[in-house]
Structure 1
């Protein structure tokens, strides 16, 4: 039984290093080490939840969601930050993981900026 648990711990550690693309981070204080390990574990936990709820690999989920971009559009009447149109698959991912889709418009400022 101990070997199976050891294998699972080693597998989780390999996954942390590869899936999360962790780089070496050096901490000296025990609290920082514990916090870092906890944050890595939480990130891996969220990845597994996303994979289980969507039926997709993390690599595919990440690739699909990285296609969402935020653009700044400026004109004489102001500026607006707006993200790209979500694809059907991106909408399905948000729905599957029970996360609200990002608002279409992130920020809007009207009028001329900096005029006196």
Structure 2
């Protein structure tokens, strides 16, 4: 029951964000609209809920939403050992899945391999750093109730822009989106400062 509620809650959040993105998409035109359309339709989370109508516009696929609802909290496990209880099979599967996901994250996202070290202490240090990074990834997922892929997708859209004129340079962060502003409080982290640095011409003071 808890897993079904969690699945439903996660999907509701995704659909709410998707509706906001579709509304913003309608405000765009030309190349900006095309890029946003393609990015949204190929999004790792949202694409499963989208369809293209006869006019070429993106719409929420209600049939896909209903199909997802029927699978809330459900999964199928098959075993050849009929001496193991259903509870033990389920628990073992969940633990196996978590271990496999951890190794997959280590090998891909955190690039545990290849190891460009020869000395044992450096190899151990490399593995330890990857393990600590994995711990941070899992903590971020738990606190935000989002996947690391989605968190990374949102956070990578934050840029530091350099403005330069005869009066000096200003390094300024881009405005945070609605999705980004929700991540930092969930992680109990302050938002990155809006102004990172101001450089004046030599000899000039504020």
TM-score normalised by length of structure 2: 0.48
1: CA distance, partners of 2:141 / 2:184:
12
2: CA distance, partners of 1:20 / 1:47:
10
Q: Which runs of 5+ in 2 are unaligned?
A: 1-91
1: CA distance, partners of 2:112 / 2:131:
12
| Equivalent residues of 2:161, 2:172 under 8 A apart | yes
Are residue 29 (structure 1) and residue 125 (structure 2) matched? Answer: no
Are residue 15 (structure 1) and residue 105 (structure 2) matched? Answer: yes
2: CA distance, partners of 1:87 / 1:97:
16
* Larger strand proportion of the pair: 1
Matched residue, 2:180: 90
Larger mean CA deviation between 82-91 and 15-24 belongs to 15-24
Matched residue, 2:161: 71
Cα RMSD (Å) of the superposition? 2.3
Q: Which of 104, 107, 111 is matched with 2:197 structurally?
A: 107
Matched residue, 1:46: 136
CA separation of 1:77/1:26 partners in 2, compared to 1, >3 Å: closer, same or farther? closer
TM-score normalised by length of structure 1: 0.83
Matched residue, 2:59: none
Q: Which has the higher contact order (CA 8 A, sep 6+)?
A: 1
Q: Which runs of 5+ in 1 are unaligned?
A: none
**Residue 11 of structure 1: how far off its partner (Å):** 4.5
**Residue 22 of structure 1: how far off its partner (Å):** 4.3
1: CA distance, partners of 2:177 / 2:152:
14
CA separation of 1:62/1:36 partners in 2, compared to 1, >3 Å: closer, same or farther? same
Q: Which has the larger radius of gyration?
A: 2
**Residue 81 of structure 1: how far off its partner (Å):** 0.2
Matched residue, 1:61: 151
